[in-house]
Amino acid sequence: MLKNENAQIRKETLERLVQMPLGLTDDKMFHALAGMLEDVDVNMGFLAAKALLSIYLSTRISDLVNTFSKVNRPKSFAAVINAFQNCN
C-alpha cells in the first residue's frame, strides 16, 4: 500500500499507521517508510516520519537517528523535525 501509485491510498495508509501503529514490523516496513521521507509531497514525508516514530521510537532509536540524518532536502528535513516535535 505504501508503494501504490495512488497518492491518496499512500496518504491514508500512512495516516492509519500513525493512528494505529503495528506491534511488530520487519525491516521492509522500516525501509519503505524511510524511503518516503523525501517524497516530493512534504506532507507524505511528515506522515512517514510520524509513522516511523510511532512504530520504532522505542525499539530502533539508533536506526531512526541514522535514517533521519540522511534526509537531504531542507523541506523534508523540516517535516521530520516537525514530526519529532509532534511525537506523542
pLDDT tens per residue, range 18-65: 887 666 667 888 999 999 999 989 999 999 999 999 888 888 899 999
- The predicted pLDDT at position 4 comes to 83
How much is the pLDDT for 63? Answer: 94
Using an 8 Å Cβ cutoff, are 2 and 33 in contact?
yes
Q: What interhelical angle do 61-69 and 27-34 show, nearest 10? A: 30
CB contact at 8 A, 60 and 30: yes
